[in-house]
Amino acid sequence: MTQVVVTVMPKAGVLDPQGQAVAGALAQLGFGGVGEVRIGKRIELAISGDDPAGQARAMCEGLLANALIEDYAVEVLP
């Protein structure tokens, strides 16, 4: 099994109200110097087979990400 990490993030330009709320809360707590905050998700997959990265990309295209509103990145862990 190969460990693969998929990161799914809202695309630039897509409103991320969750990120905005967290940015506001951080400022309220006194954390200065925080610009934009964006929140996505991390999906950990254990994949067998020859091409785990290719499989993970196919999974992103088929289900894990919505290309209209999200970008994804695939990282194969050593």
Which region, judged by CB under 8 A, interacts with another protein, from 13-21, 30-38, 45-53? 13-21
Is residue 76 within 8 Å of 49, Cβ to Cβ?
no
**Is 12 or 63 the residue whose CB approaches another protein more closely?**
63
* Closest residue by Cα to residue 39 from 24, 59, 57: 24
* Chain length of the chain: 78
What pairs with residue 74 in β-bridges?
A: 6
> Given the rule CB under 8 A, which of 10-18, 27-35, 52-60 is the region that contacts another protein?
10-18
> Residues touching another protein: how many (CB under 8 A)?
11
CA distance 16 to 38: 6
Which of 25, 51, 53, 66 lies at the binding interface for another protein (CB under 8 A)? 66
Q: Which residues bind another protein (CB under 8 A)?
A: 14-15, 17-18, 21, 62-64, 66, 68-69
